[in-house]
Chains A and B, each alone.
Chain A
Amino acid sequence: MAVVAAAFGRDRRIFFRYRLQILRIVLDPLVWFAPLYFLGRAFGGGPFRDYTSFALLGVAVTSYIGTVMWGIGFSLKQDMDTGVLEANWLSPASPSLQLLGRVVWSLVLGTAESLLSLGLAGVVYGLQGQWQALPRALAYIGPMLVALYGFGLGFAGLVLVVRQANTITDAGQFILSTLSGQSMPVGDLPRGLAALAMALPTTYGLDALRTLVLGGAPLLPLPVEQRLLAIMAAALAAAGAAVFWAVERHVRRAGTLALH
């Protein structure tokens, strides 16, 4: 627990030492939401009576994908580049626990960003919906986050192997966000892509949140989505940890820990 807390504290301190990042958290959502807001105003109607709220929830939830991929995977690559990864792995503390500290900080930061984004967007652009249903949505968002961070552990392992991570991180974030239904209903995707979308935890987490807050019919009955999310959370957390452990052995065998 002390190792997790230490890694959490390290990342928190370093984050706040770059003061412009704090400003970015406030400005980013307003900038990102602006096109969606105007798109909603221009083309809203029919099934998209409140497209703005639909899309804003999409951006708030799928922002965790970016947080996971950049905040865990890519930052591990930065540690590798700067040379601190070796110093960390020289200690007796498990690399998985060190990464868990980073995961927890990333989760706190991601949640703060999402809530702040929704709050700011609500004030600036106006949001409609049953916001009192948000606590109920935690039953879906919780397992979705466990599944997503499990994926993040595996992705971090992949980054340690491929070492040039910018492209896959950027492309992966875009593809996963789009397939999760960030700004369009998953049902409107072509059949092949829709099948892929239905294998993603973020699709169900976002769908459940929208159903509870904005109303409308879910992709699958909500109890089914909840069970699927629980299964995905267990499977991806276990798979992610296993992949990271295997990669840790691999880089110690290949001697690539300090290479970039």
Chain B
Amino acid sequence: MAPVEVSDLSKRFGTRVAVDHISFSAEAGEVFGLLGPNGAGKSTTVRMLCGLLLPTSGVARIAGHDVARHPVAARRRLGAVLGGERSLYWKLTGREYLLYFAALYGLRGADARRRAGDLLARFRLDDRADELVERYSTGMKQRLALARSMLADPAVLLLDEPTAGLDPVSARLLRDEVRAVAAEGRTVLLTTHYMEEADELCQRVAFVTGGRIVALDAPGALKRRLGGGAVCRVELAGWRPDLSLPGEAVAIGEGRWELRVPVSDPAAELPALVAQAAQAGAAVLRCESVEPTLEDVFVAVAGQALRA
């Protein structure tokens, strides 16, 4: 049984469908990414997995426990970081904060102190452990939130946008921590809209848009779905939907669009594409062919899903 199992899970808020019959599972030691734009349903899914939100239908299981029916058993095997630094008591010290949550997770006395001390050292907070959290940097606060999520030695870790708001160095350090946590055999479920981060960290990713999973696979396999070649990126002015150009057009600035077209032979197809755009009446500002990224895959897949 996989540590994370989601089966036909849905959530409605009134008439709005936030999550629409999604299913997936994540294995031990795997970093699994839920990717999508804001409002796609990623955070709603994570909150249902935590038991903070009850599903309208379907089942979410953590380490075999149905989260809605046996929330306490599920939460004992689960750590989560939602909202990052907003989840901290700023007027407690880092050590007091961990000891408080250790009590909520059933750790007592010397065990709690030892566990808190170990985690403070692991996340490089031990030299500031007895300072108030309000004096920590954003990166330190995020690491403290991650340390709190590890108190119960969880089988599953849910991280909702863990690097949002972090500077590049802090974000890199946090990604290293995520990799280390997964290497210990824990399942990490990560939501992000940073495609490069997901590409770097995740063994598999699910693209979520409109509350549905529109693609789920390893990042490499998803890229190969684009044809195994390259992506032509043509920057245009004056693009309109009725120009009937191939690929997906993404707005990149005031009156500027980037046309992204997966191709198998860029040397032959890029000049043809530029000519086609010019003939349609759009002004070509720049063009290039590049290796496809997860973002290219997402744009292609989400576009197909929207048209369907």
Contacts and interface: CB of A to CB of B under 8 A. Distances in A.
Q: A and B, one complex?
A: yes
Interface of A: 2-3, 5-6, 9-10, 13-14, 17-18, 82-84, 86-93, 98, 249, 252-255, 257-258
Contact of B89 (A3, A14, A90, A252): A14
Contacts, number: 87
Given A93-B104, A255-B13, A86 B83 contact: yes
B104 A92 contact: yes
B52 A10 contact: no
A10 B101 CA distance: 10
B54 interface: yes
Interface stretch (B74-82, B118-126, B286-294): B74-82
A257 B87 CA distance: 13
Which of B82, B91, B103, B108: most chain A CB closer than 10 A?
B103
A81 to B, nearest CB: 9
A24 B255 CA distance: 59
B246 interface: no
Contact of A89 (B11, B52, B152): B52
A252 B52 contact: yes
A110 B89 CA distance: 23
Nearest to A17: B91
Nearest to A93: B104
B22 to A, nearest CB: 16
- Complex A-B, nearest 4 residue pairs according to Cβ-Cβ distance, in ascending order: A83-B86, A6-B103, A87-B87, A91-B104
Contacts of B105: 91-93
B89 A92 contact: no
A98 B104 contact: yes
Given A3-B104, A10-B92, A92-B105, A87 B148 contact: yes
Contacts of B101: 87, 91
13 contacts: A6-B104, A13-B91, A14-B89, A18-B91, A83-B86, A83-B87, A86-B83, A89-B52, A90-B50, A92-B104, A92-B152, A255-B47, A257-B53
Given A9-B100, A87-B87, A258-B83, A92 B53 contact: no
A87 B51 CA distance: 12
Given A10-B100, A258-B82, 5 more contacts: A3-B104, A6-B100, A14-B92, A86-B87, A98-B104
A254 to B, nearest CB: 8
A92 B87 contact: no
Contacts of A5: 103
B106 interface: yes
A3 B82 contact: no
B72 interface: yes
